[in-house]
Structures are given as structure tokens and as C-alpha cells.
Chain A
Amino acid sequence: MSLLGGRGGRSDDWKTQHLRAQARAAERLDAPLYPEEASWLDDHLAGCSECAQVEADYATQRLELRALGERTPQPPRDLWARTAVAIEQEARHRSLGLRDRTRRSVLAPYALLAGALVVAVVVGTLTSSQRPSTVTATPSASAQIALATPAASASPTPLNVAHKEVDFLSADRNGQFHLYTTKVSQVCPKEVGTCATTEPSEVKSIGPLSSPETVFGQGDAPLVVLGNGKDGTSVFAVALPDKTESPTLTPEPTTEPPATPVVTASPSPTTTPATETPPPSSAPTTPSPTPPVETASPSVAPSGSPLTTGAIESARGVEVVDTTAAYAPDGSAFAFTARPSNGSHGPDIYLWKVGQAEATPITTDHRSVFGSWAGHTIVGSKVVTSGDGKTNEPAAFVISPDRTKVGLPQTGLAWRPAVEPNEGSAVYWSGTLERTADGLGWRTVAGRLVLGRWSVGSDTTAGPSATPLSGNQTMERGETTIAEGPLADWDARWDETGTRLAVWIADAADPTAGKLSLYVVDPFDGRIDLTSPPLSSEPALAGFSISNGRLAWAAPAGTTDKTSRVRILAWTNDGFGQVESAPGDVLLVR
């Protein structure tokens, strides 16, 4: 350890002794001073309140700086893949310039995998008033989506973005659903309008499905489809998306393929094979249609029997509650909120583990709802009724998928918290609740949808215990109001980095449609600016997807269009751009 206060800082070098003291006070934070200099400093500070204040300021400044370090930004998941590709390109450049190389690059596998690190995408639901089963076929006949709108006559300058993928389903005349994957490598500045078109690179048939309402995907995990079953109740079904796993699911070749879903993008798509995203190397995990095992839940009658070709029914006799549901970050399980369709009791959190035949409830109090995943644990919330029964307030909790660990993250009001990936903040309802008219659910009353600091706080292995709030919740959590209540519904989702937050707020009159906003989150303090978000209150149907540098959603039918559109907003450090599909009836995968 070096000592400071010697060379270059002799006592007679300073214009004033105060400057000397302040410099020494700063230096002492980093290394001990020479004893005589330290002694001099202490004596000076004892008699100089101004210099003592400066020293205190330095100490406070250090604490504040280090507090910034408590929030560690998470790099993008594909950073190594991108870097490996760049290094490989550098290696090729060098090898051409320096020598002939015959050995295979050690980085080649990473380069090949670079594009494969794709996060499954996108949005869900159909037009607000038109479900697939009821929508009149578009004039494009078998086309799932009509052809693209004409490219703008202007010569646009598209914005290059890293490959973004968007998955969506669309039904043909026979009720067969096809899964499309659209890759976007360029987006258009807003004022340019549409640029051109690109076709989806993969098409997989997943068989007829019964009135799907929304679809969830996660990497290679099976698609989770929420829809209506034969008995009129909502079901939880799993599609098998990989045609290689099930030859019967391969779409019939047609001499005249249906009008291909098109997403407007670059004026001259120039994707080369070298930069194409290869398909995932690992085969998807498929659920096994084995006989159902017994479940502790009397409200769910699981069935392993095939619902449709390529899908198994994982839960029946339940109604899915609200729009919040999600795959675990690793794609191993899917959590959602449901209650018995026979109205026997209120909601619980259900979990379906990939590969299992059934979804099972992991709460049993019939007043719990899913909020989000926080790593491998589930953050939920339940309703606590006051002793006199007059107020119902939410309380958040953390539960592990196997129900062995339960803890309260903190006291205070927090309903349906959507915790960001770094678990430093969350979006939640801060307010009171009341029972819905049927007495089975809960709706918001007085309060706000807020972004606030979040702390797991308690040891989830030690049973319920909470990190108490010592003061005003709004102040203590630094809450920023996103929307004033009451709210019919909402959905808040973070990207993988925790620096982009998308919030969808349902319209009061029609909760299947609403407004979508995208906020940039300050990586330092976790706060958002509400005054100039990149996307502000854009009309959107329920269900959207945010990941991998892009936000995708379904725009509702307009006054002229009778069908919805897929819209994608992508961003780089160069700015924002968007692409839009032609109108069609699509069911986006989120």
C-alpha cells in the first residue's frame, strides 16, 4: 500500500492550507497519508469547519458512488455470440492478410451459434372484437395475412438492427394453425413509412386448435396456448412446434402456397447465409402425453389425452385469470393464474412444467395471483382482508415452483408485481382491491400502477418474513406512477437487460384492447422518464412481447382495416425504427 502526501504535495506547495487539506482529505480515501501529513490534516480539520465539510462531502460522495454499484447492469445474453462472430471475422481478415490458415477456427462454433441465440417472441391475441373462430376470412382467402402494403415510393434509409425474430400463428381455412417466424434485420425510420417486405423464414404447422386466445413461447420450449375447450371453458394446451419431431405436423406442400405473411422491412433485403440465424441446435422438449398423475387440486381435472393434433391438454375446467402469465427465464416451466370454471373458489397460481402432462396449482388459498418470475422463483400476490372486512389490500410473496420455499419480499401494497430481471425494481399495483361481481376475483379500486424499488429482502428458505417499510411506501420505494387507478387490466414486461420496460394498460370499456408504452429505464437508478417514452400509449391488443432489442404487439383493427397487424419496434444505439405486417388475423406468440 502506498502512502500519499509526499512527493508533489509538500506542505509549501499549496496556495492555501485549505486547498492542501481538501486535497489530502480526498487522497486519504484512497490510501493512507504519511503520518505527519495525516496528523496535520486532522489538526486542520478540527479547526476548519469548511474543510471538515469538504471531507464529509467526499465521504458521502463515496457512499453514493458505491450505491450505484449495487445495481449491476446485465449484459445482453447474446453478447458473446456477437463478439465471437466479430472475432471470427477479424480472424478471417488476419488470416487473409497474414497467412494461409488450414486449421479450423476454435471460434467457429460460436459464430455459427451466434444467430441461434434467439429469444422467442411476441405478441398475442386477435382483434379486440374478433377472435379467430369468429373472424370472417379476409379476401386473401387462404392467406393468413394479406400481402404487404406497397413499399413507399421514397427511398428510405433503413436502420440496421441485429436479427430480431417475431413468431406468430395464423389459421388457414381448415383451421390448421401455422407458426411463422419472421426475421427482421432492418427497420424503418418512422417518417419514411414502409420500406419493403420480407417473408417469414420458417413455417410450421401445429394443427387445429380450439379457439386460441393467446400463445406463449420461450426459446425451444413448447408453445403454450390458452384458449377455449369443447366444454366452453378455458384450457391450457401445449403445441408441438417442431415438425421434425412429429412428421404428421408437417404442413402439406402446396403448389400455390398461401399468401405469405409479410412484414415490411428493408427495401432490398440482403440477408446472406452467413448472417442468417440458424435454427436452434437442440431439439425442443416435448411434453409427454402420459396419463395424468394425481393432483392435490380438486379444481383441475387434467387430461393427458390429445386435444388436437400436436397438442395436449394440460388443464381443463379452469378459467385463466388476467393477462399476466409467463415462462420461467430458462423455459423450464410456465406459470399463470386460474380459477375453477365452476366458480367453486377464487384464483390460484398454476404451474406447468415442461414435459409434464398437467398443470398444478402451487397456491391453495384461492386468493393468489401470479405476478412474474424472479429468477427461478415465482413472485405472486394475494389479498389480505382487514379484520372488519372493510378493506382488501394486496401483499406480495415469493414462492418456489415446488412450494417448499415461501417468503414475503416486503410489506406494503403490491399487487401482481412484475419484477425486473435484476430484481431491483418492479411494476405493481399500489392500492386497494375489491371483489368482482361474481365474488371470485379481485379488481382494483383506489391506487396506482407504479414502478418502485424492489427487494426480496427476506430469506425465502426461512418461511414467511418480510422486509418492513419503515416509512411512507411511495417515498421509501421511490415509486413512479405509471397510471392512476382503477385499472381494468394491465401487463408489464421487461426486456432481458432490465433497461426497457413495456406496459400495456387495458381500456376500461374493452379490456381486450388497450394502450402500450415503452419506457427506457435508467441503468443507474432504475427510474423511467414518463415524459418522452419511445412508444407512448400506442393502441395494442392484449399480449405483447419484448426481448432481444425489440417490442412486438398486435395493433387492433382500424376504421378501414378489419383485421389486426403485427407491429415491431426495434432499437439500437442509433435510434428506433419499426416494421409492420400487412393486415391479417394473427395470433402472436409472446
Chain B
Amino acid sequence: MVGGLNSDLGATRVFAGGPAVSRAWDHDEAGLFVEELFAHHHGEIYAYLIRMLRDPELAADLTQDAFVKAYRAYDSLEKPENARAWLYQIAHRVALDHIRRGKIVRFLPWTGESRGASPSAEHLVMETRLSGDLQRALERIPERQRAALLLAELHDLTGIELASALGVSHVAARALLTRARESLRQALAVEREAEAEPRVTAASSDDR
């Protein structure tokens, strides 16, 4: 049960003196809690989601969802010092839920050309963009591995935080991260090989 946030959150105003004992869910307290949480962490949560999903609008929507869920589940946070990892855990689940839904029901929004037959213009742009091979490789690896890498390397979560965010044990989180590094290495090799092929072909043609 929430008794107060860690000092990093600057939430002493909200929870100063709050007893670390279980209490009933309180709307005002939950609201202030999420407000403080948002003020300190919305940027990194948004960044995480945009890195996972590569869609700014979707990331914004899911960031909003994550904080609403945090509000709803406010009384499930047992230790205030875990607030950041707890929030990442919520955002992570929100992202995975979205990805899983997308695998079941593929949304086919307007493309400007043929409704219902093509992916969205946004999606097309994302798919065909001249993005780096690293981004493409990241998209090739399993979502949980991608999440582990992003959280560890770009969001600086500690091992314990990473485990909490991913909802697994510390050992499992490390193992996941190790597998993710190898998956990404292989995916990168594939991407770079594919990228090099046309050049090789062109060079061979030139040689003739």
C-alpha cells in the first residue's frame, strides 16, 4: 500500500507523514499521486512506448492509458521507492497488450487510396522509411526481448527495476536480456547482409 513516494518523485507534499499501512482507495490521494508520478516520469514513459511501438500518436495514447491504469491500481504499489519500476511495468503491459491485440485484429485505417485493403499511411511510412538497420533489427526480435533491451540500455533500469518492470524474477530478467542481445546481434547481421546485397549485386554488374 502506498504510504509515500520516494524523494526522487518529490512527492513529500502529497504523502508527507503518510503511514505506510494499508488504507482504503482514496480518489484525491490517488489523483495527487498520479499527478506527481506524471510530472516526473511521463517523458520517459512516453519515450519508452514510442521506442517500443514507433508511433508517436499511439505512444501518447498509451502513455495516457498507463497513467490511468496507475491511478486505478494506485493501491497496488506496495513500496513507494518502487514507483518508477511499477510504472514501467504498467506501461510495458499496456504496450504488450496493444501489440497482442494487433496480432489478433489488424486495424486497417485510411490510407488515402483504398480503404480496407492497405495498412495505414502512417504504417506505410514507418515500414518503408529509410530507417537504420538497428531499428529494423529491433523490430525483428520478440517484444519482451526488445522491451528488456530498451529498458536496460536506454532507460537505465537497474536489474531489480528491470525484473519488476518485466514482471519476472531477477534471474529471468537477466536471462531475457542476454537472449535479447544475441537475438539483436543476429537480427542486425541479417539486416546488414540484406542491405549489402544490392550493393554487391550492383558492384558485380559494374565489374562485368
A interface vs B, CB < 8 Å?
2, 4, 7-8, 22-23, 26-27, 29-31, 54, 57-58, 61-62, 64-66, 68-69, 72-76, 79-80, 82-84, 86-87, 90-91, 94-95, 98, 101, 103, 105-107, 159, 189-191, 480, 497, 499, 520, 522-525, 527-529, 531-534, 549, 571-577
> What is the bound-complex CA distance between A429 and B145, given in angstroms?
41
**Which B residues lie within 8 Å of A27 (CB)?**
174, 178
Report the nearest A residue to B39, measured CB to CB. A80
Report the nearest B residue to A527, measured CB to CB. B130
**Which A residues lie within 8 Å of B134 (CB)?**
64-65, 68
Report the nearest B residue to A82, measured CB to CB. B64
Q: Does B167 contact A (CB under 8 A)?
A: no
> What is the bound-complex CA distance between A246 and B92, given in angstroms?
52
**Which B residues lie within 8 Å of A577 (CB)?**
110
Q: Once the chains bind, are B58 and A106 in contact (CB under 8 Å)?
A: no
Minimum distance in angstroms from A496 CB to a CB of chain B: 11
> What is the bound-complex CA distance between A499 and B149, given in angstroms?
23
Q: Once the chains bind, are B68 and A65 in contact (CB under 8 Å)?
A: no
B interface vs A, CB < 8 Å?
25, 27-28, 31-32, 34-35, 38, 42-43, 46-47, 50-51, 54-61, 63-65, 67-68, 71-72, 107, 109-113, 115, 120-122, 124-126, 128-132, 134-135, 149-150, 152-154, 159, 170-171, 174-175, 177-178, 181-182, 184-185, 188
| Nearest 8 A/B pairs, CB to CB | A575-B109, A573-B58, A573-B57, A75-B46, A575-B110, A189-B110, A529-B129, A69-B154
> What is the bound-complex CA distance between A107 and B51, given in angstroms?
29
Report the nearest B residue to A104, measured CB to CB. B28
Q: Once the chains bind, are A79 and B46 in contact (CB under 8 Å)?
A: yes
A73-B50 in contact given A61-B181, A101-B27, A527-B130 (Cβ < 8 Å) = yes
**Which A residues lie within 8 Å of B113 (CB)?**
191
Partner of B181, one of A7, A8, A29: A29
**Which A residues lie within 8 Å of B107 (CB)?**
574
> What is the bound-complex CA distance between A534 and B125, given in angstroms?
8
Report the nearest A residue to B111, measured CB to CB. A575
> What is the bound-complex CA distance between A534 and B113, given in angstroms?
11
**Which A residues lie within 8 Å of B154 (CB)?**
65-66, 68-69
Partner of B50, one of A94, A189, A523, A575: A523
**Which A residues lie within 8 Å of B61 (CB)?**
573
> What is the bound-complex CA distance between A65 and B153, given in angstroms?
7
A68-B51 in contact given A83-B38, A534-B125 (Cβ < 8 Å) = yes
**Which B residues lie within 8 Å of A159 (CB)?**
109-110
> What is the bound-complex CA distance between A26 and B188, given in angstroms?
15
Q: Once the chains bind, are A522 and B27 in contact (CB under 8 Å)?
A: no
Q: List 18 A-B contacts (CB under 8 A).
A: A30-B152, A30-B174, A54-B185, A65-B150, A65-B154, A66-B153, A69-B154, A74-B43, A75-B63, A82-B64, A83-B42, A87-B31, A101-B27, A524-B54, A525-B132, A532-B125, A571-B122, A574-B110
> What is the bound-complex CA distance between A29 and B184, given in angstroms?
14
Q: Once the chains bind, are B131 and A191 in contact (CB under 8 Å)?
A: no
> What is the bound-complex CA distance between A101 and B31, given in angstroms?
14
Report the nearest B residue to A27, measured CB to CB. B178
**Which B residues lie within 8 Å of A576 (CB)?**
110, 112, 120-122
Report the nearest A residue to B188, measured CB to CB. A61
**Which B residues lie within 8 Å of A86 (CB)?**
64-65, 67-68
Known contacts A66-B153, A522-B131, A534-B121; can you find 17 more A-B pairs with CB under 8 A?
A2-B159, A26-B182, A30-B152, A57-B188, A58-B185, A65-B153, A74-B43, A75-B63, A80-B38, A82-B64, A91-B71, A103-B28, A107-B35, A522-B135, A524-B51, A575-B121, A577-B110
Partner of A75, one of B55, B60, B153, B185: B60
Q: Once the chains bind, are B149 and A65 in contact (CB under 8 Å)?
A: yes
Minimum distance in angstroms from B67 CB to a CB of chain A: 5
**Which B residues lie within 8 Å of A573 (CB)?**
55, 57-58, 61, 122
> What is the bound-complex CA distance between A83 and B59, given in angstroms?
13
**Which B residues lie within 8 Å of A79 (CB)?**
42, 46, 60, 63-64
Q: Once the chains bind, are A532 and B71 in contact (CB under 8 Å)?
A: no
> What is the bound-complex CA distance between A430 and B65, given in angstroms?
43
Report the nearest B residue to A531, measured CB to CB. B128
Q: Once the chains bind, are A83 and B57 in contact (CB under 8 Å)?
A: no
Interface-centre pick from B115, B125, B185 (highest chain A CB count, 10 A):
B125
Q: Once the chains bind, are A525 and B31 in contact (CB under 8 Å)?
A: no
> What is the bound-complex CA distance between A376 and B174, given in angstroms?
43
Q: Once the chains bind, are A527 and B153 in contact (CB under 8 Å)?
A: no
Partner of B170, one of A2, A83, A525, A549: A2
Report the nearest A residue to B68, measured CB to CB. A86
**Which B residues lie within 8 Å of A80 (CB)?**
38, 42
A90-B56 in contact given A105-B27, A573-B61 (Cβ < 8 Å) = no
Minimum distance in angstroms from B75 CB to a CB of chain A: 12
Q: Once the chains bind, are B126 and A107 in contact (CB under 8 Å)?
A: no
> What is the bound-complex CA distance between A425 and B59, given in angstroms?
21
Minimum distance in angstroms from A357 CB to a CB of chain B: 38
Report the nearest A residue to B125, measured CB to CB. A520
Q: Once the chains bind, are A83 and B47 in contact (CB under 8 Å)?
A: no
Report the nearest A residue to B55, measured CB to CB. A573
Q: Once the chains bind, are B67 and A83 in contact (CB under 8 Å)?
A: yes
Minimum distance in angstroms from B33 CB to a CB of chain A: 10
> What is the bound-complex CA distance between A68 and B151, given in angstroms?
12
Q: Once the chains bind, are B129 and A527 in contact (CB under 8 Å)?
A: yes
> What is the bound-complex CA distance between A73 and B46, given in angstroms?
8
A91-B122 in contact given A8-B175, A66-B154, A574-B109 (Cβ < 8 Å) = no
> What is the bound-complex CA distance between A284 and B161, given in angstroms?
46
**Which A residues lie within 8 Å of B28 (CB)?**
103, 105-106
A90-B68 in contact given A75-B63, A534-B112, A575-B109 (Cβ < 8 Å) = yes
Q: Once the chains bind, are B185 and A61 in contact (CB under 8 Å)?
A: yes
Minimum distance in angstroms from A205 CB to a CB of chain B: 36
Q: Once the chains bind, are A7 and B171 in contact (CB under 8 Å)?
A: yes
**Which B residues lie within 8 Å of A22 (CB)?**
182
